[in-house]
Amino acid sequence: MKKPNLAIVGATGLVGSTFLKVLEERIFPFENLYLMASAKSAGQTILFKGKSYIVEELSEKSFDKPIDIALFSAGGSISLKYASLAAAKGCVVVDNSSAWRMDQSVPLVVPEVNPKDITWHKGIIANPNCSTIQAVVALKPLHDRYKIKRIVYSTYQAVSGSGVKGIKDLEEGLKGNDISIAYPHPIAGNCLPQIDVFLENGYTKEEMKMVDETLKIMGDPSIKITATTVRVPVFSCHSESINIEFENAFDLDEVFEILKNAPGLVVQDDPRNSIYPLARECAGKNEVFVGRIRRDFSLENGLNLWVVADNIRKGAATNAVQIAELLI
């Protein structure tokens, strides 16, 4: 592809503004850039790479312009309405909402894990859930070597995963003002074992996203997965305790080497010196960090990992920009 004409839908939001930061950092090539948002945000001026851009209101005519790639982060209902319209005009949409993730005609892509899946897109490529992205970056190289039988996810997810409302809840709570705009209970001083709504099976929607998306991305429906997702009073970065059971025996030294050589992963594991991935240190970075790598002695072929990543970066904006890089 030549230098693409690029659009960002939801350009004034938390992920949308991070799209711009990542595009600039990675020196993403483009010919023309169009910034789109709701009527409320239309008319704002955004400075990007020394040039001022006026945010335009997203409409059914927005993709009458020759746009090659559009990065969407404007919510599921907007994506359902406009992604198909954009694709019909010849634009390739990389969508950050949950709208298209489990559509069997839409690839769900993490570039370090299943980059070849973009080859069968029909105009829309889905960006996975933030908590799923960082998990599969660590799991895929181990699955390729030892074959994963079962996964137990326990997550500790930052309030930025709820956007500006979640950040506001925590900021006000730390001041002593217990507000609950984003959550059913105050988040300051709390761990909330509910992310999104509860389903009939007793799991939350977030937990089932992790289960279903992992199976789709890994391309192996035989893996057994369970998850408990928890919102914690941390501003940025999701942390995950991942318990794995392999079909085959493994050598722990080899596990370390596999993870050290895996794309997009950084190993931080020196327990004697209290070195392991920390949310405060991983914030603002694009990699996935893994530590506390140890054998689970309670079962045969069991392994424990601690995985941390910036949920707005690798969990959303960076992953989408990486997909766009694959496209060009």
Residues labelled catalytic: 130, 238
- DSSP-assigned states of every residue in 70-129: EEE-S-HHHHHHHHHHHHHTTPEEEE-SSSSTT-TTS-B--TTT-GGGGGG-SSEEEPPP
Task: Return the bridge partners of 151, or none.
Answer: 225, 244
Q: Smallest Cα–Cα separation from 101: which of 285, 316, 312, 286?
A: 316
Task: Return the bridge partners of 316, or none.
Answer: none
Report whether 95 contacts 33 (CB < 8 A): no
Q: How far apart are CA 268 and CA 176, in angstroms?
A: 35
**Structure-block tokens of residue 157:** 């997810």
- DSSP-assigned states of every residue in 252-299: HHHHHHHHHTSTTEEE--BGGGTBS--HHHHTT--SEEEEEEEEETTS
- Amino acid symbol at 260: K
How far does the chain reach from its first CA to its final CA, in angstroms?
A: 5
